[in-house]
Chain A
Amino acid sequence: MSQVHTSSFTNVGRTRFWQRGFLASQSAYVLAALVVLIVVMSLLSPNFMTGGNISNITRNFSFIAIATLGITLVIITGGIDLSVGSTIALSATITSLTMNALNTAQFYPFPGSALAVALVAGLLAAAAVGLFNGLAIAKLKLSPFVTTLGTLSMVRGLVYVTTQGRGTFPAGPDKELFLAVTAGKLFDVVPVSFLYLVICAAVMWVALNHTAWGKHVFAIGSNENAGRLTGVNVDRVKIQVYVLCSVAAGINGIIISGWLGSAPANLATAYELTIIAAAVIGGANLAGGVGGAAGAIIGCVLIEVIRNGLVLARVDPYWQQTLVGAIIVAAVLVDRLRSSRNG
C-alpha cells in the first residue's frame, strides 16, 4: 500500500510574527537604531540621561512631532505638503494677532475667552490653508508638490504682509494662560506639548487602524483607482487629510510661539524639510500606502536625539544636518534591502 496521505497539505506557509505588522516595518528598525543611539549617547555623555535633558528633548521633538503626524497622513495617501512650515508661522501669527486685537478691543467676557477665540482663529487659518491645498489637489487634480510649493510661498508671504515682517507677541489678559498651556510643564516635569503629542498620536493611531476612514487613507495611497471603484470617496478623504495636516502644523505653530513668547514672521522657515525627513525616517513611504503614528514620533525623536547628543558631545553643531541627511538615506536603504529580500 503506497497511499500518499497529506491531509493538511498547503503550499502557503505562515508568515512569522516578526515578518508582519509593526515588527516588519521600517519604524521598528529605526526604533532599534534609536535605542542603540540612546545607549551610546548615555555612555558618552553623563548629562544625556539626566531628567532636565530628557525633559528638554521631549519638549524639542514635540515642536515638530504633531506636524509630522499630520504630514504622515498626507504621505500615506501618496501626497506631500510642503506648506507646513509656513502654516506653522501663519497660525502662530494669527493667534497672537487675535490676542492683541481682543486686548485692544477690550473684549474679555470671561477668563480664558481671549485665548479661546485666538486659538480658534489660529487653527481656522491653518485649516483654511489645508482646505485650499486639498481642494486644489483633489478637485482640480493639481500635483501635490507644486500646489503646496505654491502655498508655502503664498502663506509665508501673507505672514510677512500682515506683520510687515516684524513679528508679533501674544499680549492681553490671557498671556500668562497662553504661555502655561503651550510652554508649561505638567507637575514641573512633563512638557504639556508632549501631552498634546501623545493625545494626537493616540487619536491618529485609532483612526488609522480601527476606522474605515483609516483604511481608505491607506487604500488611496496604494491604489487610488481601486478606492474609487470600490466606492471610497477619494476626493473627500484627500481634502480631509490635507486639512488635518495643516491643523496639526497649526497646533505646532501655537506651541512653538508659546515657548518663544513671540511669533516672528520667519518662524519655522524650512521646517517642512525637517518634518518630511522625520516622517520618512520614521517609515512613511513617499510612494504612498505606508506609514503610521508611531513611526512619525520615532523619526522626530531620532532627529532630536542626534541633535542633542552632538551638542552634548561638543561636536560642531554644523555636523547635525549632515548626519540627519545620512540617516534619511540609511533608513530608506535598510527598508529597500529588507523589501527586496522579501520579494
Chain B
Amino acid sequence: MRMPPILAYALRRLLQAVPTILIVMVGTFLLMQLAPGDMVDALVGDMGGADAAFIARMRQEYGLDQPVWVQLMRYMGKLATFDFGWSYVYEQPVSTLLLDRLPVTLALMAASLTLAFVGGVALGAWAGRHAYSAADNLISTLGLVFYAMPNFFLALLMILLFSIHLGWLPVGGLRDIAAFHTGWRLWLDMAIHMIMPVAALSLIYLAFYMRLMRSSVIEVSELDFVRTARAKGAPEGRIMRHHIMRNAMLPVVTLLGLQFATVLGGSVVIETMFALPGIAQLAYNSVIRRDLNTLMGIVFLSSLLVIAVNFITDLIYARLDSRIELR
C-alpha cells in the first residue's frame, strides 16, 4: 500500500529533524561542560564547603567521575525523556518549571505571529496593488522605520503613551492581582495585559512581512499566468485571491518559519519588560541567578519549538505551492 504523498513528505521531514536534534543535544552538553565548575561544586558551595572524600562520593553518585562520552550518553538519554535535571534556584524539576511557564510564551508567540502574518500580508497586498500611491509610500516608510526599531524601545514608547500618558493599558504582569477576577473577566483581564507585549513583539515583523508581501505582489502581478487569467476575462477579485495572493504569500510563509527563532529570542526582552511569567523571562532570570540547568533546558526546548514550527510551515508551503515536489 502506498502512503499519500503529503504523509510520506511529512514523515521524511520528521526523520530529517533527528540529526538536528541530536546535534543540539551534544551542543547543550558541551555548553554545560564549558561552564566553570560542575553541579557538585555548586551544591558544595551552597552547603558552605565539604571534605574531599564527601565531594568525591557525590561526584561518583552523579556519574561525574565517568569518562566524558559516558556522561554525554547519559545526558542525551535524559534530554530525550525531557528530564532536564533539578533547578537549585526554584527547588523543583526543570521540566515542571518549563511546563508551568510554556503556556504564556506559546500564547504570546501565537498571538504575535498571527498578527504579524495577517496584518503584514493584508497591508502588503494592499500596498502592492496600489504601488507608488501616496498611501503606499506612507505605509512603506512606516514599515522601514518599524523594522529598524529595537523591540524594547518600541515597548517603552508604548508604555509611555498608553500607560503613563493615557492610562489605558497596564504596565505589566499577566493579570490584575488586586482585582480577584474569575471566569471570563479573568480571561478578558489577561487579554488586556497581553495587548502591549503582543504589539511590541509583532509590529516589527508585521513591518517586515508587509514590505516582503508588497514587493512579492508587484512581482507576481507581472507574471504570465496573471496576464493569461486577465485575458480570459477573470474578475479582478478572483485574480487577486487565486492567482496573485496564493503565490505572493510563499516567501512570507518561508520567512515566518525561519524567523520564529528570532521572535522567540525577542520575547526574552518583552516577557522580562512586561513581567510575563513565560519561559523567555525564565531564561533571563536563570542567567541572573546562575541557574544553568534551567537555562540549558530552555535552550533545548526552544530549539525543539523552532523545529516543530518549521515542520508546520514546510507543510503549509507544500499545500500552497502545487509546483513543489513532495520530496
Do the two chains bind? Answer: no
Residues of A within 8 A of B (CB): none
B residues with a Cβ closer than 8 A to A are none
